[in-house]
Structure formats: C-alpha cells, structure tokens
C-alpha cells in the first residue's frame, strides 16, 4: 500500500495528466482537443518508457469517412520467457462527448493507467501489460464496428488477450452519504480465478470495492467486445453522477484521494490477474457469496436505511435495483 506522502505525490501526478487532457473544450473525434490529447498521450507513453505495441504508439484506422486512432503501448514483463505470454490489457477511452472537458469521463481513468504503467516499468509484472487508450467509445460510435476497443480486438490485437481490465468514470465520490469511497466492479464472474483476485485484495485506504454481475448494468464501456469474445475481464466504475456528460465534468470536481487509492487498487489487480491462470469455465460459477460480502462491507449505510438484510441473490437484486433507481449505475 502506498504511504500517505506517496498518496499525495500520486494525486499530484494524476491531476497534472487530467488537467492537461482537459485543457481543450472537449476531446470529440476530429476536434482539436482530440488531436491534442492524442499528441499528449503519445508523449507520455514515451516519457514513461513504454514500448510501442506496433510500429508506433498510434494505431490509426478509418470508418464512416472518419479517421480514428487507438493509442497502445506495452510495459514488458520480467523473467525469462515471460514476454511470450499472452498480455493483460489495461484500458480506458480518451474521447468525450460534445462540450464536456471529460475529467471523470474519462481523463481520470487515463491518468490512473499512466501511473500504473509508470510503476510497471519500474517493477514489471509477471506477463506483458498492454496499456490502451481507446478511441470512439462515446456516441455515435458506441457499440459500433468503429468503437476503438471493438476495432482493436477485431483488427489490431497481435495476440490473444489474457484478460482485460477496463476503467470508466472512476474519479468521483459516489454521491450518497456513507458510500462516497465505493467503486463498483463487474466481470468477476468471467473466470473463477478472478474471484480469488478479489477476495485476496488487501483493504485499501480510502476505497471499498463492491462486486456485482455485469448483467445488472450491461456493457456500458469498452469491456463489451471482450465479454462477447469470452475474454476474462474486470470493469471498474464509480457509476454515473450529476456531472456525467456535462460541461461541469472538470478536474476540480474529482476526488483526488480516491483517485490515488484507485491507482493502488488497479495496480494490485493488474499484477494479481497477470500472475493467475485463467482457464474458465466462462460465467459458470456462483459469485453470490463474494457479492454479499463486498456489499455488506461497503454499503452498510444504504442497507440499513432501506432495511435490506442481504442474505441471498434476491437481496442483491433489490440492492442493485436501488442503486439503478438512484442513477448510480
């Protein structure tokens, strides 16, 4: 776990990246802010010491008379033969909707992946880690053939992917008293070993994880293509909030201590999943016990307020319905 002074230094590095990415009006495909973000991120990849995934960090592609670019790099593994293993993918998207600076959606996630990448260069993981900032996640490209993650998986991936960890909307405090420090995680059901990843996590200062089945919310981000292909995945999000897709999604609205704690969590998840054998079966086991455990630990104020005892999958259904009603998922 990062020391307190380390948390402050991490938060400062995260904020520097977020503010740089949010300096334009927005990062819509084809707009100046999108071009500036692409240039900034490729410079950051080089400064960190990441290797290009292909001939260059930018993997351009085109569709519907529009030009796009995924930004993909590699943090090499350590150990003899380790770089021959299927890589783990750590991903976020870098485009935004119109007129939104996109601090939470999705610059905070990008900054976290960059900080984790820096740590992986200093201390490599058990297998290569592909760091990807995907293009064209937002409408009108969402879940089309030119969505950056979909195009990458279909046309640009050079090898099979060991697992995908995807971040979206991870920089804000959950707007409910008592559970501000929560992050929601789906996808644990995609491989039994991922449940052990979750249960083996050390408690994080300033962050609590709630696990739930992905089917409750659907494929709301770049994990979509990997789930369809039955690639093991974890999707992390703090849910929607009042600044979602709004001009007010600015760096000053983010919870920087939470962002720092999120960085530690993502690093721990990345290293752990990279070290595990993921051989299924796909979505063929029951996560109820772990879901109940994480919800009891993190959502106690909400459960008490609504008198939910949380003993069964039916109780979990009620909790998720309540969260969805409050537009947090």
CA 200 to chain centre: 19
Count the residues in the chain: 329
pLDDT in tens, 256-313: 999 999 999 999 999 999 999 999 999 988 999 999 999 999 999 889 888 999 999 9
* Across 90-113, average pLDDT: 97
**What residues does each domain of the chain span?**
4-282
Distance CA(85)–CA(161), nearest Å, equals 9
Cα separation of 106 and 170, whole Å?
Answer: 8
Averaged over 103-127, what is the pLDDT?
98
Domain 4-282 = CATH 3.40.50.2000: no
Secondary structure class of 90 (helix, strand, coil): strand
Least confident of 129-133, 214-218, 249-253, 301-305: 301-305
Check residue 202 and report its DSSP letter: P
């Amino acid at each position: 776990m990062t020391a307190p002074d380390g948390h402050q230094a991490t938060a400062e590095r995260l904020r520097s990246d977020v503010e740089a990415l949010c300096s334009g009006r927005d990062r819509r495909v084809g707009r100046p802010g999108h071009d500036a973000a692409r240039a900034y991120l490729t410079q950051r990849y080089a400064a960190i010491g990441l290797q290009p995934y292909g001939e260059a960090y930018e993997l351009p592609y085109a569709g519907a008379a529009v030009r796009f670019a995924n930004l993909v790099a590699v943090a090499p593994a350590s150990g003899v033969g380790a770089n021959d293993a299927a890589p783990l993918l750590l991903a976020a998207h870098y485009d935004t909707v119109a007129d939104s600076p996109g601090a939470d959606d999705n610059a905070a996630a990008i900054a976290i992946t960059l900080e984790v990448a820096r740590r992986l260069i200093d201390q490599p993981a058990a297998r290569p880690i592909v760091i990807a900032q995907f293009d064209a996640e937002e409408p009108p490209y969402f879940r089309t053939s030119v969505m950056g993650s979909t195009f990458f998986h279909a046309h640009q991936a050079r090898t099979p992917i060991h697992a995908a960890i995807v971040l979206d909307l991870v920089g804000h405090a959950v707007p409910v008293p008592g559970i501000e420090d929560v992050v929601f995680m789906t996808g644990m059901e995609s491989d039994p070993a991922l449940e052990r990843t979750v249960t083996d996590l050390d408690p994080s200062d300033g962050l609590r994880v709630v696990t739930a089945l992905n089917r409750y919310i659907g494929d709301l981000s770049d994990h979509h293509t990997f789930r369809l292909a039955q690639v093991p995945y974890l999707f992390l999000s703090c849910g929607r909030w009042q600044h979602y897709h709004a001009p007010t999604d600015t760096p000053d609205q983010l919870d920087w201590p939470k962002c720092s704690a999120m960085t530690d969590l993502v690093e721990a998840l990345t290293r752990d999943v990279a070290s595990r054998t993921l051989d299924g079966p796909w979505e063929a086991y029951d996560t109820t016990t772990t879901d109940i455990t994480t919800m009891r630990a993190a959502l106690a104020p909400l459960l008490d307020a609504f008198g939910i005892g949380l003993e069964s999958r039916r109780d979990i259904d009620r909790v998720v319905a309540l969260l969805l009603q409050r537009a947090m998922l």
